[in-house]
Amino acid sequence: MTEEKREVLELDYEQPKLSRNLSGRFFDGFVMAVLAVLLVIPALFIIQGNSFFQKMVEERSLFRTQSRLYVSTDGQDVILPYHLEDDEELTMREKDELMEDSLTFFFEEYMQEELQQKGKKIYLDYKGGARNEENLPLFGLEGERLLKSSDYDQIYFDFYSDLIRHKAIGYLTRKAGYQTVNRNIFMAYFFSILSVVLFSFLVVYYIIPLFFRKRRCTLGKLLTRTAMLGANAFSVSFWRYTLCFLLKLLVFVTSLFTFFVPLAIDITVLVMSKTHQNISEYVTNIYLVSAENQSIYRNYQEYHEATHIQEGQDFMDVDIL
């Protein structure tokens, strides 16, 4: 019986230097960041035009103005001391009295239930610790103003302003309805921005490579003249590349919520491994190779047609240096 002889073919692809490998990947990250920034602005415009979102904003604005810590001006909620700073008609004493009335209402009436009927005591405690540069108390035991001279008006304004901006607004978040609507608005913004970031990730790392069926390259890999190949030295199949992308996406998403620890591990694996593969590439058996001086083939048939291999020859061995 005669044994059929088969020629063993070897395709050797050069492994790009680590610096070249990282350059392409960092460029992709930069492109993704730029794309996300360009898309986030129209995305925010879209969500702000949504009727449900506008209703939540109106509800939050109502809570703010009812608390008297904010003033609604030209459709914007402005913190009271910031609004008064720009008011040239009121005297400094009148501004002080206005903030005193607002804070008294806020602590003693508006937030009484949330502060368990201790709003007045909390306000008096803040007043009790207030002193000027000469260490003189600003308020008496009942919260009355002690320094009557107009020379001290600015000191009182600063006290009220700091109390509103740094303390009272914090207490406002305890208001049950306000807390809920504020959280909903935050979540709407958060998921809008997250959607933009994930869409940018999808475009850069999945959609663009699908157009380069042979090389499966991103813009960074195109710039550095590298390509993604399977272990058989042919182009990565659609399903294998999709699996690789999903693993990459998993690393990216979990990184967003864990201080980028998975991404740091992924980069460490890439740098330390002999073949400089990241986790997703290692699991799916995909390699980054240089595409400068050698053709890339989608499959054996394309290789056969390009090199005029006779029938009966098999592709038996691959080395990725």
pLDDT at 295: 81
Count of residues making up the chain: 321
Is the pLDDT confidence value at 153 over 50? yes
Alpha-carbon span 121 to 124, nearest angstrom: 5
Is there a contact between 220 and 26 (Cβ–Cβ < 8 Å)? yes
72 — phi, psi (to 5°)? -85, 120
Please indicate, yes or no, whether residues 146 and 66 belong to a single structural domain of this protein. yes
Vertex 64: Cα angle to 62 and 66 (nearest 5): 65
What's the confidence (pLDDT) of residue 308? 62
Q: Terminal CA-to-CA distance of the chain, rounded, Å?
A: 39
Asked if 18 and 276 count as a contact pair (C-beta separation under 8 A), the reply is: yes
How crowded is residue 156: how many other Cβ atoms within 10 Å of its Cβ?
Answer: 22
> Is the model's pLDDT at 61 over the cut of 70?
yes
What are the start-end ranges of the H helices in the chain?
18-48, 51-67, 80-85, 92-105, 119-128, 153-163, 169-172, 176-202, 208-211, 219-224, 238-256, 261-272, 279-284, 300-307
- Yes or no: say if 111 and 63 are a contact pair by the CB < 8 Å rule: no
**What local confidence, expressed as pLDDT, does residue 316 receive?**
47
96 & 140 share domain: yes
Same domain, 164 and 224: no
Question: Does 309 map to a domain?
Answer: yes
Query: Which residue range forms the structural domain that includes residue 299?
Result: 8-28+212-320
| Token pair belonging to 221 | 């890999």
Asked if residue 127 and residue 220 are part of one domain, the reply reads no
Phi, psi angle pair for 79, to nearest 5°: -60, 135
Number of compact structural domains in the chain:
2
Q: Note whether 114 and 218 are same-domain residues.
A: no
**Tokens coding 210:** 């699908």
Domain identity same for 305 and 257: yes
Q: Is the pLDDT of residue 11 over 90?
A: no
Last residue of a domain, one of 174, 193, 228: 174
Q: Are strands 8-13 and 70-73 parallel, antiparallel or unpaired?
A: unpaired
Instruction: Give domain status of residue 185, yes or no.
Output: no
What percent of the chain is predicted at pLDDT more than 70? 92
pLDDT tens digits, 268-317: 999 999 999 999 999 999 999 998 877 888 877 777 777 764 444 444 44
Q: Specify whether 62 is located in the same domain as 162.
A: yes
Q: Give the integer Cα–Cα distance in Å for 146 and 162.
A: 19
Please compute the mean of the pLDDT values over residues 103-130 and round it to a whole number: 94
Residue 307 located in a structural domain: yes
Residue 11: partners with Cβ closer than 8 Å, 6 or more residues away:
233, 294, 315, 318, 319
Q: What is the mean pLDDT of the chain?
A: 90
Residue 233: predicted pLDDT: 84
Same domain, residue pair 228 and 273 = yes
**Across 53-74, average pLDDT:** 94
The pTM (predicted TM-score) of the whole model is: 0.79
Q: What is the pLDDT of residues 157-212, one digit of tens each?
A: 999 999 999 999 999 999 989 999 999 999 999 999 999 999 999 999 999 999 99
Domain closes at, from 147, 174, 201: 174
Residue 170 located in a structural domain:
yes
Reported as a single tens digit per residue, the pLDDT across 231-280 is: 888 899 999 999 999 999 999 999 999 999 999 999 999 999 999 999 99
Given 149, 174, 199, which residue is the final one in a domain?
174
Q: Are 47 and 189 in contact (CB under 8 A)?
A: yes
Number of other CB atoms surrounding residue 86 within 10 Å? 8
Six token digits for residue 224 = 């550095």
pLDDT, one tens digit per residue, over 64-85 is: 999 999 999 888 999 999 999 9
Nearest to 144 by CA among 167, 123, 158: 123
